[in-house]
Amino acid sequence: MSNNINFQELAEYFKSVQLNIVTALEELDGKKFLKDDWIKDSTQNLIGNGSTQILENGNIFERAGVGFSCVSGQSLPKSASLERQHLSDCKFNAMGVSLVLHPFNPYIPTIHFNIRFLVVNTPEKDIWWFGGGMDLTPYYGFEEDCIHFHQICKNALDPFGNHLYPLFKKQCDNYFYLKHRNEARGIGGIFYDNFDSLGFEKSLDVTKSVANSFLKAYLPIVEKRKSHSFNEQNREFQAFRRGRYVEFNLIFDRGTLFGLQSGGRTESILLSMPPKVQWGYNYQPQINTEEEKLYTDFLPAKDWLNKDGLNLDKDI
Amino acid sequence: MSNNINFQELAEYFKSVQLNIVTALEELDGKKFLKDDWIKDSTQNLIGNGSTQILENGNIFERAGVGFSCVSGQSLPKSASLERQHLSDCKFNAMGVSLVLHPFNPYIPTIHFNIRFLVVNTPEKDIWWFGGGMDLTPYYGFEEDCIHFHQICKNALDPFGNHLYPLFKKQCDNYFYLKHRNEARGIGGIFYDNFDSLGFEKSLDVTKSVANSFLKAYLPIVEKRKSHSFNEQNREFQAFRRGRYVEFNLIFDRGTLFGLQSGGRTESILLSMPPKVQWGYNYQPQINTEEEKLYTDFLPAKDWLNKDGLNLDKDI
């Protein structure tokens, strides 16, 4: 562990993020989360503890998982850092809060939020970094929701330099991309990893600012859309689009692969799985429908905060 | 291409396997498959053609996909052969027939069958091998079905040496295993890969024998179970167990990863996805139920053809 980093204190902060979010979501939904605290000792070289909090069949949320975990391992999986493959197999400590919320109403978007901190013990020194972000996955798009979401993301980062939002926004578009579908997972947000460039204190402040922004970014969208009427066909489209979410998380998501590869707790890692999902052959939305608009107007990466709405270059 | 191997003739044989199986399944179900023939030219260094045949919302099958493909690529993906990593990045030709049938009635098991042939062009020479097999994934277990299925598998292989069935059976148990769940996908069957040990003609004969056995192995089980009554709770259990099928195919299955990594046709590769799937936190079957019996009596690897029913060693 680095000399100046109080890992325990940091873990307490991460736990407080989980608590605040779960408390707010319980108030919103009206149903309580199940709290499943766990300790993992010495299986597959991984020890640690965590708290998996989950709400299923709520009033708003069909399945909502908010997980905290803090683990130490003997061998860092390759998936932990694509940019730092030389660190794989080193001892590591990792903590994170991760959530995916799957609302029942297809007009409320699914959301993902994560913050994480890693320390890797190399023979020479300890190397640490932060990661995190949030991204929105609507089934039915509303431009004002996308603008609101991205504006809150930008507001969270601007105090630390105007370069951060465009950088993290682009990283988000690149990361949450289904290569095999040539399709974005959702309308993006912000994503950062291997982040240490501002030094420990400021990098932590960035992470705190992102964490503080999550409820501001998401709750107003839920409030606006939760009374939107929907029918069976809307639910089917949601179930079908959730299939893309499953594909992304199981094929590409490094957090998921990191967890499964490092011998993590499967049910906690797979909190992100949607409750009800559907696959059908070669599904295409009908032309001139709300469903088609998702593909034409919302999924292609764009600068939501630029009034001209110009598409950004994607360098995937 | 190897001098003595007629790739075109082999492709015709593979197509005939697809045709025979689809014809029999159409007769069984009463509904016709959609036939989607495709040609892929030069995208991502992969060219080829195939026929994706799919039946959705049938009388027996909720989603049944039978695919044929024949492709040539500039660079063999690593997932193509774990045992022959030195061949990755070589030019290759591959053909295969692959099917996954998801019945509507939870008392009819899901089945997977595959035969494949690969030729890899190394600077020194062409290297070829066959692969294939079939495995059964029941939601509700019937011992007699498991015995029947394994007996047909054994009968298919015994003419080529008594060692093949135990070897391929064990390979199947090892391959179709969800490490992160510590759980088998189903009750096994046979699986072989990198198979060339009998020479081309005999190795092809093994593959033909396996292909000829598929309908004999599966149809009697469908006939026996298709009138079994079921309720919503049985369907829920099926949807939940199908989640395991998705997890296996997207996280572990080399055929799926090979297809997606080599730039294959996504909708054809993901034919294997179940139609309706469910995830729920920490699902445990109630004790003394049929659902629990699946976990205790059917999923643990065992020798179905040995009357003592002794568990086999698993060396995963």
3-state secondary structure of A112: strand
Residue B19 CA from chain centroid, whole number = 17
- At residue B147's C-alpha, the angle toward residues B141 and B148, to 5°, is 105
Catalytic residue among B86, B102, B112, B148: B112
Q: B275-305, pLDDT tens digit by residue?
A: 999 999 999 899 999 999 999 999 999 999 9
Neighbours of B129 (CB within 10 A): 21
Provide the pLDDT for residue A112: 98
Q: What is the identity of the amino acid at B208?
A: K
Report helix, strand or coil for A63.
Answer: strand
What are φ and ψ of residue B54, in 5° steps? Answer: -140, 140
Q: Is A246 close to B246, i.e. CB distance below 8 A?
A: yes
pLDDT above 70 as % of chain B: 94
Domain ranges of chain A: 7-298
A180: tokens are 């095999």
pLDDT digits (tens, 9 = 90+) for B130-140: 999 999 999 99
pLDDT < 70: residue spans in chain A: 1-3, 42-44, 81-82, 307-316
3-state class (DSSP) for residue B121: strand
B190/B152 Cα distance (integer angstroms)? 10
Q: Does the distance separating the beta carbons of A251 and B247 come in below 8 Å? A: no
Pick the CATH number of B7-298 from 3.40.50.1390, 3.30.70.890, 3.40.120.10, 3.40.1500.10: 3.40.1500.10
Of the two residues A284 and B212, the one the predictor is more confident about is B212
User: Residue A62: closest CA among chain B residues belongs to which residue?
Assistant: B280
User: Which of A252, A270, A281 is the mutation pick for testing B, counting most B CBs within 10 A?
Assistant: A281
Whether this prediction's pTM lies above 0.80 is answered by yes
pLDDT of residue B78: 77
Average pLDDT, rounded, for chain B: 92
Enumerate residues 6+ apart whose C-beta is below 8 A from B211: B17, B97, B115, B132
pLDDT, residue B307, reads: 64
Query: Of B99, B3, B6, B110, which Cα lies nearest the Cα of B51?
Result: B99
Annotation says B112 is catalytic? yes
DSSP B179-194: TTTTEESSSEEEEEEE
Interchain proximity A278–B276, CB inside 8 Å = yes
Nearest chain B residue to A267 by CA distance is B282
Nearest 5°: CA angle at A11, between A6 and A15? 150
The partner residues of B277 in beta bridges, in order of sequence, read: A277
Tell me if residue B226 falls in helix, strand or coil.
coil
Buried b / exposed e over A130-149, threshold 16 CB at 10 Å, is bbbbbbbbbbbbbeebbebb
Please determine, for residue B1, whether its predicted confidence score (pLDDT) is greater than 80.
Answer: no
Which residues face A68 on adjacent strands?
A51, A97
Choose the closest CB to B251 out of A63, A250, A282: A250
A280 neighbourhood in chain B, CB within 8 Å: 56, 63, 275
Q: What pLDDT is stored for residue B169 in this prediction?
A: 98
User: Two tokens at B287?
Assistant: 């004790």
